[in-house]
Amino acid sequence: MTVGRAIARLKIKKHVARLLLRDANNLPSANDIEVSRHNRFMLDTSVLIRHAQGNLSEHILKLIETALLYQSSVCRSEICIGLTNRDISRGTWKHEIEYWDDAFRAVPEKRVLCPDEQIWRDAGLITGSLTRTQGYQPHQMKDVLNDSLIFLTAAKQGIPVLTANRGDFDLIQQIAKKGRFFWF
């Protein structure tokens, strides 16, 4: 598919004004999902970090303990950036490395999803559009690009993203309407 067709499919030209966050009550909340082994989720980096910190509610913990979980190679990269961009002389650093090694090993490689060329292109288009309409600064583009990559990768597989980052995923979904996310 050409860039022009992708722009038309995503209706990028339609997005000229600032997008507004939708009412949280009208977005699917993870707190309303029934705990079931039939659930499937792509965990956003925000969920992985909160889990590592022990900052997830009992309901969210049960959701992820029973669901079939997927990880994004993008999330893994974000974790690695954070891990190595800290004081590596801290006594806890080795423990953190072991924690993330275990967390990554817990998800079979076949459930670690990587963005393909189409996803990279579409994520770039969404990032550029949101940067323009939302007035993002250049340093904010990386976060929106990564979130777009995660969202689109999950969407291509028909898997919703579970996230604590309602704002970015709401805006991304307003452009890429086929994807889904649950927030908490």
Q: What is the pLDDT of residues 104-146, one digit of tens each?
A: 999 999 999 999 999 999 999 999 999 999 999 998 999 999 9
- Residue 57 domain flag: yes
Angle (deg, nearest 10), helices 117-134 and 3-10: 60
- Residue 18 domain flag: no
For residue 50, give its domain range: 25-183
pLDDT above 90 (res 1): no
The CATH code of the domain that includes 59 is 3.40.50.1010
- Residue 123 domain flag: yes
The pair of structure tokens assigned to 25 is 């009550």
Entry pTM: 0.95
Q: By the 8 A CB rule, do 160 and 180 touch?
A: yes
d(CA 50, CA 39): 20
Eight-state DSSP code of residue 65:
H
| Best CA proximity match to 129, nearest among 166, 167, 175 | 175
Query: Which residues are bridge partners to 72 per DSSP?
Result: 113
Tally the domains of the chain.
Answer: 1
Beta strands 181-183 and 68-72 are unpaired
- Residue 134 domain flag: yes
